[in-house]
Amino acid sequence: WMPPKRSETTSHSLIDRLKRNFRGLNRRFLQSHKLRRKHSENHRPGQTDTLLYSVIQGEWTPGGGHRYLEETVQELLELGEAKSARPFVYGVPSVLDDESDWREFLEYSLDSKGGVYPMSYATLSEFREIRSWMSQRMAALREWLQKAPDGWARFRDWDLLPLINGEIADLGSQLERGLLMHLASRKAFDEIRPKGLLLKDEVYPHGRILIAAARTSGVRTFSLQHGSIYPTHWCYLMDPEAEGLARPPLPDLFGVYGSAIADLLANRNGFPSEILRVVGARRFQELDRMRPSQEFVDLKAEGKPLVLVAGQLHQDMPKVYSWLFTLAEQNPNLNFVFKPHPRDKEGVDSIQSRCTRLGNARMFVGPIGDILPTVDLVVSCHSTVLLEAVWLGIGGISVLVSGEPAADWQEKAGLLKIARSREELTAAFEALSKGELFSHEARETSKTYLEEYLGYSKVGDPGTLKGILQPAAP
């Protein structure tokens, strides 16, 4: 057990801490092992004709399919590349009181989708070993910091040492969870022996943990691009020689959207070209099948251009929303729909309140497919929704308010403008009102971009995926 902090030495805080620890142990070990027994068929050994595909909380669509991988999973089954497919449910349950969302996600993944829950392979003895090791390392780190020379963590007039000390506990917790999931996932792979593991690209640490665990167990991995590629993003600056958990290896095969992406990764980022496969943006097939809800069909029938403002989590969204609400007030000839990010719980009330004060603005929290086919312009900081708009031939404005450079693809997409300030955003809307935002040349550029960067012609060709789960020829 981790000792309480000095500020938590009262009996009340100690009891609360013990309760949280017990709750965590119960959810991570007792409940998970009970679920494994209940769904023993999902975990039976020797599923050599089964494809596992990773899923985390938030990746099931309202219709029940995987938000990023569903198209590929179904195509692989139709091609006979695997006889069955099961989700590999990644995650460590929270120790917080409210676990209703997690429980709902887990029940759907295991009951309805026949998923594998690797957390159920973790043992309490492994957890204790990891926690003991982690506690020793964190204590050594704190001791080292205490002995650091005065001013060691001072930048200009700020002493950052209290901030660093405050982050150590969170660092230990993250490492603890990562190690536990790596060990548990390895045991699950060893037991089930699947034909392969499919996952979206390893942008986040859990993807790298899964690839490292699968590689250690001898399970073939196929990673699939799921959004736009930022060539300078840390997740694409890979070391082909890396092995293990600390420096995770590359997947056996990395499926990218278009030939330009393959060239970019191989020539600029050192990816071994032999693991790259151009497969097209297959998940975008779903976009072509979308049918708007009657609400937005009726809104479109009003005859005003329809602007979708799609939220994001990693930018200064209050500033962006403020700019867009001002533009909504100034442009009564346009209809605005504000769609906050699904995990942006704090911004919903503010957006709803401001929308109710305007006659040409409303908030929407449903599936993006209910509105996107009716939209004339998408404004967002979120690269994926902008990419989807370009795929459908819809113009977009990428709002960059944090000083970051535009991604390469945004410079080449044709049907995309970049706004870094209120003034640039206002100018774009003035051009929109005049029908001058996107030229004929921009639309032609977009067609070229769709082929080179999104593999447009590859998407409708099922043969593109043939053999991706087979080991490479010696």
What confidence tens digit (pLDDT) does each residue in 374-407 have? 999 999 988 889 989 999 999 999 999 887 788 7
Helix or strand (DSSP H, E) at 308? strand 306-310
Locate 300 and state its tokens: 């479109």
pLDDT tens digit string along 139-195? Answer: 999 888 888 888 888 888 888 888 888 788 778 888 888 899 999 999 999 999 999
Give the pLDDT of residue 339: 95
Q: Contact 449/390 with Cβ under 8 angstroms?
A: yes
CATH number, domain at 219?
3.40.50.11720
Residue 461's φ and ψ, nearest 5 degrees, are -105, 100
Which domain-ending residue is among 281, 315, 338? 281
Whether 100 and 221 map to the same domain: the answer is: yes
Helices 440-454 and 383-391 pack at an angle, to 10 degrees, of 110
Same domain flag for 233 and 315: no
Number of domains in the chain: 2
Tell which residue, 100, 146, 91, has the closest CA to residue 119.
91
β 306-310/377-380 pair status: parallel
Shared domain for 251 and 320, answered yes or no, is no
End-to-end CA distance of the chain: 49
- Whole-number pLDDT of residue 96: 56
Pairing type for strands 221-224 and 253-256 reads: parallel
- Of 281, 309, 328, the domain-final residue: 281
* Confidence band of 3 (pLDDT split at 50, 70, 90): very low
Residues 316 and 277 in one domain: no
Q: Is the pLDDT of residue 97 over 60?
A: no
The predicted structure's pLDDT at residue 322: 94
The CATH number that applies at residue 430 is 3.40.50.2000
Which residue bears the tokens 């009970």? 34
Residue 75 lies in a domain: yes
Per-residue pLDDT at 455: 93
Integer Cα distance of 391 and 290 in angstroms: 13
Which parts of 5-144 are beta strand (E)?
A: 50-55, 84-89
Query: Is residue 262 over pLDDT 50?
Result: yes
* Whether 21 and 114 share a structural domain: yes
Q: Are residues 235 and 330 in the same domain?
A: no
| Residues 275, 302 share a domain | no
Q: Are residues 277 and 305 in the same domain?
A: no
Kindly state the helix (H) or strand (E) to which residue 377 belongs, with its residue range: strand 377-380
**Domain boundary pick from 251, 281, 311:** 281
340 and 200 belong to one structural domain: no
Q: How crowded is the C-beta side of 365, counted as CA atoms within 13 Å?
A: 9
pLDDT, tens digit, 9 for 90 and up, residues 310-348: 998 877 888 999 999 999 999 999 999 999 988 887 778
Q: What is the mean pLDDT of the chain?
A: 87
Q: Report strand pairing: 377-380 vs 221-224.
A: unpaired
163: in domain: no
Rounded to an integer, what distance in angstroms lies between the CA atom of residue 446 and that of residue 285? Answer: 18
Give yes or no: residues 267 and 352 share one domain. no
| Same domain flag for 372 and 270 | no
pLDDT of residue 7: 43
Same domain? For 276 and 295 the reply is no
**Is 462 within the bounds of a domain?**
no
Q: How confident is the model at residue 447 (pLDDT cuts 50, 70, 90)?
A: very high
Instruction: Tell me the per-residue pLDDT of 202-260, one tens digit each, with 9 for 90 and over.
Output: 656 788 889 999 999 999 999 988 877 665 555 566 666 777 777 777 889 999 999 98
**CA distances for 215 relative to 91, 178, 193, 251, 348, angstroms:** 19, 16, 12, 8, 42
- CA proximity to 397, closest of 363, 359, 429, 361: 429
pLDDT on residue 337: 97
Q: Is residue 238 part of a domain?
A: yes
44 phi and psi angles, rounded to 5 deg = -60, 145
Residue 377 is encoded by which pair of tokens? 């312009």
Q: Pairing mode, if any, of strands 221-224 and 416-419?
A: unpaired
* Residue 151: strand, helix, or coil: coil
pLDDT cut 90: percent of the chain above it: 51
Phi-psi region at 64: left, alpha or beta (left = phi > 0; alpha = psi -120 to 50): left
Q: What is the pLDDT of residue 236?
A: 62
- Residue-range definition of the domain harbouring residue 37: 6-123+172-281
pLDDT at 264 over 80: yes
